[in-house]
Amino acid sequence: MRAHLPEATLVFDHFHVVKLMNEKLSALRRELQREAESQEKVVLKGTRWLLLKNPQDLDEKKEEARHLEAALELNAPLAAAYYLKEDLRQLWSQPNQELAGLFLESWIGRARATGIRQLVQISNTLSLHRQGLLAYYDIPISTGPLEGTNNKIKTLQRQAYGYRDQEFFRLRIFALHETRYELVG
């Protein structure tokens, strides 16, 4: 990329960083589940989606917060990873790039200090891409809307089992896009 666009600023989207952290958290949970004793397995069962949900989205009627808390109390490495995941989301809400840099360094240090393989791996990745992460403060962009549109196009194509007529498919894509703006505007 640098060869073709030497002046471009590389900005890492927060969605992808949080997604990577969620993947590491899921890998840790699977590893802990395999190694757990029978009682621990019962408590850890069903926590996959609870760990990935935002805390404010936990369903009170299903007592998801209580179930999650029981699993975190039972397993210190899982709790450390979960709370670091939640803390990482705060990177993009720092008031400026300098404080975000300090926050990121602190987060990386805490993740490495746990000694948990998955957290050390992601801390190394974030350390390598520090400049792209902090570039958000110069250019606050997100690929979310673009990815949402791509997802709608894939869904449209899948629902139709493919299109033989490329022009019709193109018109359907434009119709998707126009419908979205008619509803919003």
| pLDDT tens-digit series, residues 115-146 | 999 999 999 999 999 999 999 999 988 877 87
* Residue 167 amino acid letter: E
Dihedral in degrees, nearest 10, Cα atoms 152, 153, 159, 164: 170
Can you tell me the distance from the alpha carbon of 64 to that of 57, in angstroms, rounded to the nearest whole number?
9
Provide the angle, in degrees to the nearest 10, between the axes of the packed helices 76-88 and 117-128: 20
| pLDDT tens-digit series, residues 18-46 | 999 999 999 999 999 888 777 777 777 77
The domain segmentation of the chain, as residue ranges, is 14-137, 144-184
Claim: this prediction has a pTM higher than 0.85: no
| pLDDT tens-digit series, residues 99-120 | 999 999 999 999 999 999 999 9
- Cα 5 to its chain centre, rounded Å, is 27
**Residue 87's closest CA among 11, 15, 16, 18?**
18
The pLDDT of 6-21, averaged and rounded, is 89
